[in-house]
Structure 1
Amino acid sequence: MTPPFITYSTFHRLGLNVRNLNALLLNTTDDFELHIIDSNSQDGTWDFIKSLSDSRIKSITRLPMNYGPIYALNYNLARRKPDQYFIVLESDVYHYVPDWISRFMKVFDMFPDVGLLGLARSHPYPVYYPEVSLQEKNGVQYLQLMHTEVGNVMDFVPGQCQFLRPELIDLIGYWSEENGYGDAELSLRVTKYTPFKAGYVIDVPIDMIQSVPCESCEGRPWCQLDKVNTTCFNIWKSKHRNESFVLTNGTRKYLECFDELRQGKRTVYCASIHDPDSYKNHLYHMDWALENFDYYANNSN
């Protein structure tokens, strides 16, 4: 079987990228293909990425602008081989166990109706689960997501570390570029409109610290910031627009997409600008998607 495809997205925060990418490459014993995509970081992150040398790194891509997380995510999803599991790994995730991929795969192998798996957020975030149900078979456990409804945006599998089964991807296509709602819309599409289940793996410990002190940062060889008035974390914080995007752009389109799905005007499959065949063969409001990309281009670069 082809090793799983990991898409790792970077957007500033050089210190976290050095810490977490080094840990991923040095500590993980499972096989994988790594594809790194950078959304126009200005803090030395791209120079660090170019310095990496590992046979498991199959591509590095620097986007000329930050067009938002969904644009970068789907860019790499469009490059996945048909039989590959797809892993989303965000830059603030640090894995403690070397066989974390195998631990996900045990759940997929034991529960063939599971299509989407993720992890609860970890330190320094409070651990939060929506309503879930413990599922167990032959000593393998996971927490099944019980309820997803339009508008209940807390009932989803968060996206910092997600694992998708290839058969599920065949059905759902891409993250919705038309509404840009990310994990909340993805979990809802999976659980309401496909035969697959979604849930949480519970034996993969991580941390999600949000910044690294300059004095202990492994990224100093690539950093040219003054570290007094400007740090890589401050740049990220000043340009991070996910919350404001949802408030200003996403809600109306999110509701309209699911209303179209409910009425049968569209299928569960979402197309992508990175895959012309997908939007030739499925409903795709390109004007909505372009408006979403423009929001980030105009406000987050």
Structure 2
Amino acid sequence: MLITKGQVIMLPPLLSYVTFNRLGLTVQNLTSILESSDDFEMHIIDNNSTDGTWQYIQSLKDSRIMSKARITLNYGQIYALNINLLKRRPDQYFITVDNDVYIETKDWISRFLKVFETFPEVGLLGVQRGLPYTDQLPPVTPKVKDSVFFLELDNTTPNIEQNYIPGSLMCLRPELINEIGYWCEENYYGDIELSNRVNNYTSFKSGFMTNISIKMPQTMECSTCPYNSQCTFNKITETCFSNYNKLYKNEEFKRNYKWKFEETITDLNSGARPVYCASANDIASSIDHIYNSEWAMENFNYYINNAN
């Protein structure tokens, strides 16, 4: 289905949803997305969950779900996210939602698109992380036009690891994607690296939505879980959350491989590498653009060896 904004007819955005264990959160939070009053084309990837997540995903019936897939080895979230990004049609906005995000606003996609429509210079929009996180906003500048409002990220702050748009709920303009390509598989630094590329090496602006409400629960009591009666864990010594915590390796990865991110920034600053990032999932992109396959394979193997 096509959706109309003013006089412009556009494709529904592609919504990427990558799951990895924490079945209770996936059931709760994916339900909140499917209760949205907006249109979208959802592609779900299960990153080799071991807690029944894939069985649950297979049971979902919604005409907006375009594909469901299970990767039999967890290569890390960025690898899976880029698989979904490759499915995007040229004029399609791209939304990524983490499986710990509970969206309370029903017309949240329309609100994203309204800001993009009003501010053509904006390429990337996100939402401040919700409770239980209490992050302070990085430096921002309020922007308003025709009663449409957002907070533009100030890219002059020297601490680039604090000055970024969280990847928990993020929407990208198609013209920006054409310029930057994929999430970087070479350094695997995720939203911090992506925001830095957009903020400092493209002509596009990025910012925060203020009228989309989310929560980000990291756990729940088994007795309140919507999937409790079908859960196979004993709930005393093991739950879907303890199972997830054993296999969650993102923070450990960043501690070990932050140097790749730092070298990427150095190369961007010197002009040694372009803003476009290729992907192993898109062979043509990795042939036509700079792509450090050795770095990327080391990142993939880290997750294969530690998160499965």
For this structure pair, what is the TM-score category when the shorter chain's length is used for normalisation? Answer: over 0.9
CA drift of 1:258 comes to 2.0
Say whether residues 1:99 and 2:77 are aligned partners.
no
CA drift of 1:264 comes to 2.1
CA drift of 1:75 comes to 1.1
* Alignment partners' CA distance in 2, 1:114 and 1:152: 19
Contact 1:130 1:145 in 2 (8 A): yes
Q: Spell out the pairing of 1:1-301 with structure 2 (5 A cutoff).
A: 1-25=10-34, 27-147=35-155, 152-249=160-257, 251-301=258-308
Contact 2:155 2:200 in 1 (8 A): no
Contact 1:191 1:197 in 2 (8 A): yes
What CA deviation, in whole Å up to 9, does each residue of 1:175-230 have, x standing for no partner? 11000010111111001111000110000011111112111111124421111111
Q: TM-score, normalised by structure 2?
A: 0.95
Cα distance 1:8–1:81, how it changes in 2: closer, same or farther (>3 A)?
Answer: same
What CA deviation, in whole Å up to 9, does each residue of 1:120-142 have, x standing for no partner? 01111114211111111111110
CA drift of 1:97 comes to 1.6
CA RMSD of the aligned region, Å? 1.2
Q: TM-score, normalised by structure 1?
A: 0.97
CA drift of 1:57 comes to 0.5
Instruction: Classify the secondary structure of the residue corresponding to 2:287.
Output: helix
What CA deviation, in whole Å up to 9, does each residue of 1:227-269 have, x standing for no partner? 11110011111111111101102x2111222222222222100
**Which amino acid in structure 1 is aligned with residue 290 of structure 2?**
L
Instruction: Classify the secondary structure of the residue corresponding to 1:245.
Output: helix
What CA deviation, in whole Å up to 9, does each residue of 1:133-164 have, x standing for no partner? 11111111101110266763111000100000
Contact 1:15 1:217 in 2 (8 A): yes
Q: Percent identity?
A: 49
* Alignment partners' CA distance in 2, 1:149 and 1:62: 40
* Alignment partners' CA distance in 2, 1:200 and 1:230: 37
Structure 1: gaps (5+ residues): none
* Alignment partners' CA distance in 2, 1:285 and 1:61: 27
* Alignment partners' CA distance in 1, 2:246 and 2:282: 31
**Which amino acid in structure 2 is aligned with residue 153 of structure 1?**
E
* Greater alpha carbon shift after TM alignment, 254-263 vs 93-102: 254-263
Contact 1:113 1:196 in 2 (8 A): yes
CA drift of 1:77 comes to 0.5
Contact 1:9 1:91 in 2 (8 A): yes
Structure 2: gaps (5+ residues): 1-9
Contact 1:121 1:128 in 2 (8 A): no
* Alignment partners' CA distance in 2, 1:236 and 1:79: 28
* Greater alpha carbon shift after TM alignment, 142-151 vs 176-185: 142-151
* Alignment partners' CA distance in 2, 1:80 and 1:34: 11
Number of equivalences: 299
> 4+ residue stretches of structure 1 with deviation over 3 A?
148-151
